[in-house]
Amino acid sequence: MFKKILIANRGEIAVRIIRACKEWGISTVAVHSDVDRDSMHVRMADESVCVGSHQPANSYLNIPALMSAIEITNAEAVHPGYGFLSENAEFCKKIKNEKIVWIGPDAETIELMGDKINSKNFCIKQNIPTLSKTSKLSDAKKIGYPILVKASAGGGGKGMRVVNSPKELDDSVAAAKREAKSSFGDNRVFLEKFIEKSRHIEVQVLGDNFGNVIHLGERECSIQRRHQKIIEESPSLRLTEDLRQNITSTAVELAKKLNYKSAGTVEFIFDENTNEFWFLEVNTRLQVEHPVTEMVTGIDLVKEQIKVASGKRLSFQQSDIVFKGHAIEARLYAENPNNDFLPETGTIANLSFSNSVNIRWDSGIKKGDKVTPDFDPMLAKVISFSETREESA
């Protein structure tokens, strides 16, 4: 097992990873921007390194500074968390070139699945159910309206537009391209069929370096705002056992085709009217909503990631996984509901957490912390667990 792991992230996910490492006696290194110098993840880690004082958010994207932090602390492995560089294939390659272990899938998998056009083409070749798509505006009629314009390098709802008629197409594509270029530095977009009455179903998968791949059930993330998830739960009440078997086995099949290692999530769009589902994307990292899976399976996903990265086989087979109860996660945002839920800044004047045994808090904040405009407004997550959905809610 590793002696020291550097966490290339901040906030609640950095705290989450540090806690898992502490339970195993693994030393941790936190990185931080100047404004994060006194944050919870820095205080909890055994060591810390400042990776930037200007433009705080860019500090966590500063690959040269992160590589220097790895070198001066002699970290053996890097856990990227989620967001920032967690799905950056170049960062993964640089880590591995220095003989440091990347706690996540291979760079080739990250690169392939990070491009929505290429990932969909791969799934079509592998006979994974995939919605019809095109990069040619002239082929829009073949797909049929309504159509969804999506950024190839996108995420978080950016570079995405719903088009209901041909007269809206040109303006919608132009707007999506501008947003995609601004957000991702890549203005490529494509068109696919928009499913009007849909649900967002995703499957947690785990793979090791020996070809073993299993799933840990599904999560439903249909409650969203501006294409951003705000409520996640497991299991989905909409799936029958047959549908659940079909969608989870499809996720495992795809993960095996990818020779997937570590934790990952295969996302699907599900049509409520027809019970059909189609591939959406693969998130080649830990998800924000991973705690609901942990609650219903009793499996620590961060520890499993570390095990796999250290060269160990998965410690269980599919038949060993037992699903119990129902878990719901709500994200805690620094937003103003009276201002269209736009982000707010300020100082956390008071903070307290429930001590209920059925409630889990994943947080990276403390009383007195300043919420700045430099980072995503999500501050913490509250996860409830009980035997039924009604009790969890």
pLDDT tens across 216-275, in order? 999 999 999 887 899 999 999 999 999 999 999 999 999 999 999 999 999 999 999 999
Q: Contact at 8 Å (CB) between 132 and 192? A: yes
* pLDDT > 90 in the chain, percent: 90
Ramachandran bin of 99, using left for φ above 0, alpha for ψ from -120 to 50, beta for the remaining angles: left
pLDDT digits (tens, 9 = 90+) for 282-340: 999 999 999 999 999 999 999 999 999 999 999 899 999 999 999 999 999 999 999 99
Instruction: Centre a 10 Å sphere on the Cβ of residue 350 and count the other Cβ atoms it contains.
Output: 6
pLDDT digits (tens, 9 = 90+) for 177-222: 999 998 888 999 999 999 999 999 999 999 999 999 999 999 999 9
pLDDT of residue 377: 92
For the segment 11-34, the average pLDDT, to the nearest whole number, is 97
* Summary mean pLDDT of the chain: 95
Q: What is the Cα–Cα distance from 131 to 154, expressed in whole angstroms?
A: 17
Tracing tokens 């860019």 back to the chain, one arrives at 58
The pair of three-digit structure tokens given for residue 51, joined into one six-digit string = 């990776």
Instruction: Centre a 10 Å sphere on the Cβ of residue 367 and count the other Cβ atoms it contains.
Output: 10
Residue 251's nearest CA partner among 262, 242, 260 is 260
Q: What is the Cα–Cα distance from 382 to 354, expressed in whole angstroms?
A: 9
Q: Residues with catalytic annotation?
A: 285
Tracing tokens 């080739």 back to the chain, one arrives at 108
The pair of three-digit structure tokens given for residue 111, joined into one six-digit string = 């690169």
Q: Print burial letters for 193-216: b (CB count within 10 Å at least 16), e (below 16).
A: bbbeebbbbbbbbbbbbeebbbbb
pLDDT of residue 226: 81
Burial of 217 (0-12, 13-18, 19+ CB in 10 A): middle
For the segment 90-115, the average pLDDT, to the nearest whole number, is 97
pLDDT of residue 53: 74
